[in-house]
Amino acid sequence: MNLQNHKDSILEEGFTIINDVFSVKEIEKISEAIQNIDTSKDTFRKSEDLFAIRQFLKEIPEVKDLIFNENIKKIIGEIFGDKYFVVKSIYFDKPEKSNWYVAYHQDLTISVDKKIELPNFGPWTTKQNQFAVQPPLNILENIFTIRIHLDDTDENNGALKVIPKSHSKGIYRPETIDWKIEKEEICNVEKGGIMIMKPLILHGSNRTTNGKRRRVIHIEFSDLELPEQLNWSERMN
């Protein structure tokens, strides 16, 4: 696995795709662990269109060893170095009949343990006693996201679409996208593959048209400590 070109792609384009990171057997084990959980908790969101688990690694600690296999450890170590830790994790399941559409956006908030007034931190939101805040730009620029695909994903079942290089333009309001200069790219990822992206890349997804489900584990990493008494709420080494 030559990772230098993936490292270059993340820096320049804002994302990369690496297939064959998990075996079929590993994906089955992860799926089983997810199926065996109590879904009545606050961190779970269930509707006909979407099933989501926030604080995924905290809620299902037994998946941790399955997710951080040798391939993932090597990818994180070689591309980002050994100082990075988990700061957020979510599991998304868009079922077969889901017509969930996500407009272009950047991921602009981080999950923290409390709300305190700090310069350049804000606006704040609170969901189910979880605090989220938009931090200063340097913190957002430092994060990277790994999306693990439990299903084959392409343009027919809501694969992520991105605008390459948009991660390097700071806060970029989607309504100001100039389509004369920007191009869209669909990120097809095979089952067992991953997509690595910078949260500031403009991304969205279309509705599914082929009735195939799309399950993704979304994990964010950083190597920065937050200022003063503020802590990452899901921090995990």
In this predicted structure, what is the pLDDT of residue 48?
A: 61
Residue 140 predicted with pLDDT over 70: yes
Residue 113 sits in a domain of what CATH number? Answer: 2.60.120.620
* Residue 208 backbone class (left: φ over 0; alpha: ψ -120 to 50; beta: rest): beta
Domain of residue 119: give its range.
4-222
* In-domain check, residue 11: yes
- What is the Cα–Cα distance from 189 to 151, expressed in whole angstroms? 8
* In-domain check, residue 231: no
Q: Please report which confidence band the pLDDT of residue 211 belongs to, taking 50, 70 and 90 as the band edges.
A: confident
* In-domain check, residue 232: no
Q: What are φ and ψ of residue 115, in 5° steps?
A: -110, 115
- What is the Cα–Cα distance from 160 to 195, expressed in whole angstroms? 10
pLDDT (average), residues 87-105? 85
In this predicted structure, what is the pLDDT of residue 221?
A: 98
* In-domain check, residue 230: no
Tokens of 230: 């503020």
* In-domain check, residue 235: no
Domain count of the fold of the chain: 1
* In-domain check, residue 234: no
* In-domain check, residue 236: no
- The overall average pLDDT reported for the chain is 92
Beta strands in 23-84 (DSSP E): 44-46, 51-54
pLDDT digits (tens, 9 = 90+) for 59-69: 899 999 999 99
